Chains A and B, each alone.
Chain A
């Protein structure tokens, strides 16, 4: 049993983190949230870092690594608020030509959702529909994007599609596997969003002076931030374990582990995102401070691959 990062994993994480710090600076995130077009060259560069091909075999241009390595990298994507359907493109890599290389952007839809809303309708090249009967590849339907998406970095559109109109690219078992893996990957994006919101708030709490003291010296503020840390650490441990179970099914129950991870990570991201705004005070309510982007991303991600309520039901069903 070993849940510590090895040297390769630390190097991989550091390389991606450094690259993201340059690629997705606060100014670039602000520009993107003010309507700058989707940056395909940044997407391609991300693919060249290998993030969509972590688990593909090396002979297919992948890194030949596991889900555990993937969640370490996805946490960084979440922390950097990278715009784009990273989970859909990762899952489609190897099945949809060009996804692994960053040439094809793949967005998702799950037919279990009562209302069909897709993310990045104008940026994606393909839509994969996850259905109880299998995986289906469709062209992205023409639909007007919402004029005011909740998360300015996640444009959305309501669509109306039927899975059977697409090309069947995976079985019912594949679809079930995608749902579980998608929950684990989204959990890691949520852990990243939670950590990003916490980092920003901690930095602000160390600088902002009121009553002649930095606000981070007040216990009321400290305790809010400590609670975010607790939620984030718990979710990170659960997500890592879920990823390890995905890599080695004999070591646990993936259904239980994935539900645990997604539920706790949704909780961490929404909680930490809210705290991030609260600690910034009035500034947290402005468009200018990035705190809102973490919470809005958390709110987007808590709707995909099962809500916390869905996962709680799954966990209860095991009793």
Chain B
């Protein structure tokens, strides 16, 4: 038991650090948040740089073009890129973290050859067509239908919360192929090219005011049967492969970001005059709130290291992942609240007010409202822990 990195892990970290120090200063400015085509260009250009430097697909197996890095090296990669404030995975998220890993495990040789190298090189952007208006937490209740017609499926339905849909080339799509089977048994996983006739993308405006997500309307969309990943009606199991990825590593860089946000908050507090003299930082109650959140962030980092150690030892950290997501998302929202309280009335704008650096904090406060919902709501996570870890009986179900 120890916290030290091995010599080869230190070498991996130092090489990455020096590469980041070389390339980051030369990066162009980040594009405007609503300029999706520009964001795609920016995010995929970064992915190409990672690829050329040998860092694409850190968590992908080496025989599928990835780095085949150990869990500890993955942690180092995510930690170092976040600390250096390198670009986030962005538009490459679904391809690198969902669709690609699914195709690695469940895809055919043709599907792997067609997509994996392009995802790694930043040439292919994916979106996710899972949730529907009536299938959120109860994802298996999805109703988008796919009916076999010769060597095609004809797909009809609606998908929501599809990030990057406007600029995506492909969609990982869950459809119902057997309406008479129990709900988990009639689902199929398809690769949908986004330029197929009948695919319509409608941006959804979020509470941040941006169009981060879209709605997909699928009207008689013909998808070749050869685009099916896994067997017909086995799509639920296939989809679960991606969920284990999502809950494993998704938030590592966000914990670094949380610490950065706390530091910014303290910096603002230290230079904001208090009504009775001194600065806001002289307020013991504020310092204790910051200290408490700092403990949570630091504890979460310990939990990450424990989860990564378990993964390194070949264990699957189901418990750790749900525990982590629950606590992180809650702490993250409280950091946003605290930062906004320090801003006072500068927290009334999501764009910078003259003389204030409020935009990032305020937008972040609003944006993180999604954290306790996305990728399994906090309530679903608690059910998972109570049922799978504590062994409490399942809720009665009506299906």
- A binding-site residues for B, Cβ under 8 Å: 1-6, 9, 66, 68, 202, 205-206, 213-214, 216-217, 219, 221-223, 225-227, 229-231, 233-235, 237-238, 240-241, 244-245, 247-248, 251-252, 256-257, 259-261, 263-264, 308-309, 311-319
Contact = CB atoms under 8 A, between A and B. Distances in A.
Given A66-B1, A251-B2, A316-B287, 4 more contacts: A9-B1, A225-B390, A237-B306, A315-B298
Contacts of B2: 1-2, 244, 247-248, 251
Contacts of A6: 1
B396 A237 contact: no
Contacts of B298: 238, 256-257, 260, 315
Nearest to A199: B390
B4 A241 contact: no
B327 interface: yes
B379 to A, nearest CB: 7
Interface string B262-303: 110010000000000000000010011111101110111011
Interface of B: 1-5, 9, 72, 262-263, 266, 284, 287-292, 294-296, 298-300, 302-303, 305-306, 308-310, 312-313, 315, 319-320, 323, 326-327, 379, 381-383, 385-387, 389-396
Contacts of A241: 3, 302, 305-306
Q: What is the predominant secondary structure among interface residues of chain A facing chain B?
A: helix
A142 to B, nearest CB: 38
Contacts of B263: 319
A209 to B, nearest CB: 11
Contact of A225 (B379, B381, B386): B386
Contact of B1 (A68, A261, A318): A68
Contacts of A223: 379, 382-383, 386
Given A244-B3, A251-B3, A1 B305 contact: yes
A231 B300 CA distance: 11
Contacts of B302: 3, 234, 237-238, 240-241, 260
B323 A229 contact: yes
B326 A219 contact: no
24 contacts: A1-B3, A1-B4, A1-B309, A2-B2, A202-B390, A213-B393, A222-B382, A222-B383, A222-B392, A223-B386, A230-B385, A233-B323, A234-B296, A234-B323, A238-B302, A244-B3, A260-B295, A312-B295, A315-B295, A316-B266, A316-B287, A316-B288, A316-B294, A318-B294
A31 to B, nearest CB: 30
B79 to A, nearest CB: 11
Contacts of B308: 1
A315 B291 contact: yes
Contacts of A202: 390-392
A206 B392 contact: yes
A61 B385 CA distance: 43
Contacts of B320: 233
B252 to A, nearest CB: 14
Contacts of A314: 291
Contacts of B291: 259, 263, 311-316
Most chain A CB atoms below 10 A, which of B300, B313, B382 = B382
A230 B306 contact: no
Contacts of A225: 386, 390, 392
Contacts of B315: 4
Contacts of B394: 217
A235 B299 contact: yes
A319 B319 CA distance: 32
A234 B292 CA distance: 13
A217 B295 contact: no
Contact of B295 (A206, A251, A259): A259
Contacts of A318: 294
A29 B25 CA distance: 64
A214 B393 contact: yes
A319 B309 contact: no
A264 B296 contact: yes
Contacts of B383: 219, 222-223, 226
A318 B291 CA distance: 9
B309 A229 contact: no
A233 B292 contact: no
A317 B389 CA distance: 37
Most buried by A among B302, B323, B383, B392: B302
Given A219-B379, A315-B294, A205 B385 contact: no
B295 A311 contact: yes
A238 B299 contact: yes
Contacts of B310: 3-4
Contact of A3 (B305, B327, B382, B386): B305
A268 to B, nearest CB: 10
A251 B4 contact: yes
Nearest to B3: A251
B312 A219 contact: no
Given A217-B396, A227-B382, A229-B385, A316 B290 contact: yes
Contact of B287 (A2, A257, A313): A313
A233 B319 contact: yes
Contacts of A240: 1, 302, 306
Given A313-B287, A313-B291, A205 B392 contact: yes
A256 B386 CA distance: 32
A313 to B, nearest CB: 6
A132 to B, nearest CB: 21
Contacts of B393: 206, 213-214, 216-217
Nearest to A5: B1
A66 B319 CA distance: 27
A227 B383 CA distance: 10
Q: Give the 7 A-B CB pairs with smallest separation, nearest first.
A: A312-B291, A222-B386, A315-B291, A226-B382, A316-B291, A316-B287, A251-B3
Contacts of A227: 382
A225 to B, nearest CB: 6
A234 B1 contact: no
Contacts of A1: 2-5, 9, 72, 305, 308-309, 312
A248 B3 contact: yes
A244 B319 contact: no
Contacts of B287: 312-313, 316-317
